[in-house]
Amino acid sequence: MLWVRFRVLGSKFQLSSSFSQRKRVAKMINQPPVKVINITATFNVGPRLDMTKVTKYFWPNQTTPRKEFRVQKGSIIVRIFPTGEARALGQMTPAGFYNYRVTNIVGESKLCHGVNLKQLSTLFEKSVNLQEDEDDRFAHCSFSNLGSIAHVYNTGSVILIGNNLAKMELANLAVARMAQDVWRAKNKTNELHYIVID
């Protein structure tokens, strides 16, 4: 009983420290693979600076296309699982049509600027610093403790667009997980959504 008591007390002290965050990231690495039910989405890559879109995609056992889901050219689609695991599903390239195996795509993207982004930031950890880049049409969230700067979208699902993420670094996966937590807190739901990382 004494050992259990110390464990509980220890966990309370970790809540306000960065150690708990590092512990969550470490836990994410060690998660076993998750079984995924896949559907196929076709991405139409348009001219430079244009948004690309899913022209059609299907849920399992259905043949009717759902709503369009927009992504930015060059984006990496990442699936966040209930265990906290983040898995890259594929990357858009500058030409042609490409198929990716994805699940549960919902909604159409809408940019989250200024005030809306600041409202979302209150649900992130204190290390988040908001910035406005005059040369960029996106608002920025800087996750200084995770070494990542990300564009945040407010969508029917959660989309996170990051900078220079050619390699799926651990810090960036942690940021994706934090964005997922924001969406759940905002909508009071445990539904899973997609994260898109550029």
**pLDDT of the chain, 198 residues: tens digit per residue:** 444 443 444 433 333 345 555 555 444 444 433 333 222 333 332 222 222 333 333 333 333 333 333 334 444 444 433 343 334 444 433 332 232 322 222 222 222 222 233 333 333 322 223 333 322 222 223 222 222 223 333 232 333 333 333 333 333 444 445 555 544 555 554 443 344 433
Distance of CA 176 to the CA centre of its chain: 4
The two tokens of residue 54 are 């899913």
> What is the C-alpha to C-alpha distance for residues 143 and 74, in angstroms, rounded to an integer?
22
Given this model, what pLDDT does residue 54 score? 31
Angstrom distances, CA of residue 87 to CA of 2, 13, 150, 157, 195: 40, 31, 18, 17, 10
Given this model, what pLDDT does residue 186 score? 52
Given this model, what pLDDT does residue 44 score? 31
